[in-house]
Amino acid sequence: MIEGTAGSYASVVDLKAGTIARDIFVDDAIYRDELEQVFARMWLFVGHESQIPNPGDFFASRMGAESVILCRDRERHIHVFLNTCRHRGMKVCRYDEGNTPLLTCPYHAWSYSLDGKLAGVPMYNKLYDGVLDKSQWGLIEVAQMVNYKGTIWATWDPAAPAFEDYLGGAKTHLDFTLDARDGREGGSEVLGGIQKWVVPSNWKFGAENFLGDTYHNISHRSVDLVGIGPSALKGVRGRRDEEVPGGQELWISFAQGHGLHSALRPEANAYARTFLDNDEVDDYFRACFEARKQRLGERSRMVSRTGTIFPNTSYHGQQPRALFVWHPHSATSMEIWRFYLVDRDTPPAVKEFLRHYYMRYSGPGGMTEQDDMENWNYATAASRGTIARRHPYNYQQSVGAFSTDDPVPGNVSLQITEENARNFYRRWRDCMIAPSWSDLQKP
């Protein structure tokens, strides 16, 4: 059993040896420390503005293990509140999403306006007058919130750095996920509903996988052979939307803990026909490609594949273009949420094509995603035992292969590497030890 102390966390993540103790994926005491040290302080993804377009709209989300309400007030301002009544803690909002003039608690009917103020208390004059100061008992709101290109992020820590500083160099790559396919800034919306499902695995398995673990592609061999992708071809081109023939794959990590896998197209930067079984979709993406090239010039050579923004938000930059959240439930259970993205002004037929492809690839019924879940599920089960926990995981892959002398900012590797994972757990360990943001080494 690991005690939650600075010394012990330094030893469970041994970056010199390239080993990490299994306890951080299965231990309850470490999990409880994580909720405090990581989830109560970092910036977390909460939802997308397109989910709450009108005043009164709300979406029940999560931050760490806790329920929060993302909503839009009458003045159209967006808020994020803890989903708990200030009276006896009842969950104020028990629906996944909807529209309401007031958030009324089902227990004793205290009601809150959508800017979080305590608006109504039954029998106030008789029972509380002169005692209960309503202005002090509104919903608990996050310390900081930001609308970044339509995506809503929040933190409980007023001392956390500004969101863009928190993103650091990962911003460019996240931008390629959030920006329009033709290179305009922002403009995305969530396509359809949110997929949510519970997997018996620690949340870090998902976060780590999306840091750029291309080493595991072998476990998708069977689905690659089937050819479920938009090109309708077997093999890798049957799975990905866009190949980068002759390009340079990049694995990049940042001091803030983020890690990602992107690629740089060759200088010729030509469109590779991808949607072979649908001309309308292919024409649309070809036009987007050319417009983006025009708009961004050299920068348009960058292709954003996958990445994880520390601690628990990941993205797929191309297809299936999506944001994922790995919500912790316990040391050995997480709830995965997927938000699929499209440009708002994408033609309906293209949206429909993508909707089918997204479901075929991703989510609890997606053929590719099922492979990942199986790995994380069984790895967790096989790591919980008394004997198993005596033996650490190995993180020695491509030690020292990355350099800073590369085409883009960050610690870049030109070959498959676990450096992104090592960097992620370095940041995780620092968070678990640091008493406050000022103690965390600010990048």
Binding site for ligand FES (CB under 6 A): 85, 87-88, 90, 105, 107-110
> What distance lies between CA 189 and its chain's CA centroid?
16
208 forms part of the interface with Fe ion (CB under 5 A): no
| Residue 224 in contact with Fe ion, rule: CB under 5 A | no
Which residues make Cβ contacts (< 8 Å) with residue 143, sequence separation at least 6? 155, 156, 157, 158, 160
**Residue closer to ligand FES (CB basis): 86 or 305:** 86
Three-class SS of residue 155? Answer: strand
Q: Whose structure tokens read 């750095």?
A: 161
Burial class of 372 by CB neighbour count within 10 A (0 to 12, 13 to 18, 19+): buried
Q: How far is the CB of 68 from ligand FES (least distance, A)?
A: 16
Residue 320 amino acid letter: P
Name which of Fe ion, ligand FES, none residue 38 binds, using a CB cut-off of 5 to 8 Å depending on partner kind. Answer: none
The entry of Fe ion, ligand FES, none that residue 105 binds, CB within 5 to 8 Å by partner kind: ligand FES
Report how far residue 303's alpha carbon sits from residue 248's, in angstroms, rounded to the nearest whole number.
10
Among residues 23, 372, 418, 419, the one that binds Fe ion under rule CB under 5 A: 372
Closest approach of Cβ 136 to ligand FES, in Å? 16
Q: How far is the CB of 128 from ligand FES (least distance, A)?
A: 12
Closer to ligand FES at the Cβ: 119 or 434? Answer: 119
Minimum CB separation from ligand FES for residue 85, in Å? 3
Q: Which is nearer to Fe ion, 168 or 320 (CB)?
A: 320
Q: How far apart are CA 52 and CA 68, in angstroms?
A: 14
* Residue with Cβ nearer Fe ion (372 or 418): 372
- Within 315-437, residue ranges assigned H as helices are 348-361, 367-381, 419-433
Q: What are the φ and ψ backbone dihedral angles of 403, each rounded to 5 degrees?
A: -145, 175
Q: Determine if 175 is a binding residue for Fe ion (CB under 5 A).
A: no
Is 92 or 367 the residue whose CB approaches ligand FES more closely? 92
Q: Angle of helix 348-361 relative to helix 279-296, nearest 10 degrees?
A: 100
Q: How far is the CB of 36 from ligand FES (least distance, A)?
A: 25
Q: Which does 372 bind (CB under 5 to 8 A by kind): ligand FES, Fe ion, none?
A: Fe ion
- Closer to ligand FES at the Cβ: 137 or 393? 137
Who's near 303: CB < 8 A, 6+ residues apart?
176, 242, 244, 247, 262, 263, 264, 265, 317, 318
The sign of the dihedral angle between the CA atoms of 113, 116, 119, 121 is: positive
Rg, Å, the chain Cα set: 23
Q: From the list Fe ion, ligand FES, none, which binds 90 (C-beta under 5 to 8 Å, kind-based)? A: ligand FES
Residue 134 CA to its chain's centroid (Å): 36
Q: Which residue, 133 or 405, is less far from ligand FES as judged by CB?
A: 133
Q: Which of residues 64-83 bind Fe ion (CB under 5 A)?
A: none
Q: Based on CB atoms, which residue is closest to ligand FES, 128 or 378?
A: 128
**What's the min distance (Å) between Cβ of 287 and ligand FES?**
53
Strands (E), 222-320: 248-253, 259-264, 302-309, 313-316
Q: Is 430 in the site for Fe ion (CB under 5 A)?
A: no
Rounded to 5°, the CA angle 259-260-263 comes to 150
For ligand FES, the closer of residues 85 and 421 by Cβ is 85
Are residues 31 and 65 in contact, defined by beta-carbon separation less than 8 angstroms? Answer: no
Considering beta carbons, is residue 103 or 309 the nearer one to ligand FES?
A: 103
**Count of residues that interact with Fe ion, criterion CB under 5 A:** 1
**Cβ 372 to Fe ion shortest distance, Å:** 4
CB of 89 to ligand FES, least distance (A): 6
CA distance 406 to 419: 15
Looking at the DSSP assignment, which residues form a beta bridge with residue 332?
none
For the chain, percent helix, then strand, then coil, each to nearest 5?
Answer: 30, 25, 45
Per-residue contact flags (x/-) with Fe ion for residues 325 to 364, judged by CB under 5 A: ----------------------------------------
Report the C-alpha gap between 373 and 93 in whole angstroms: 30
CB of 87 to ligand FES, least distance (A): 3
To ligand FES, the closest distance from the beta carbon of 170 in angstroms equals 40
In the complex, residue closest to Fe ion by CB: 372
Which partner, Fe ion, ligand FES, none, binds residue 88 by CB below 5 to 8 Å per kind?
ligand FES
Q: Which does 288 bind (CB under 5 to 8 A by kind): Fe ion, ligand FES, none?
A: none
- Binding positions for Fe ion, rule: CB under 5 A: 372
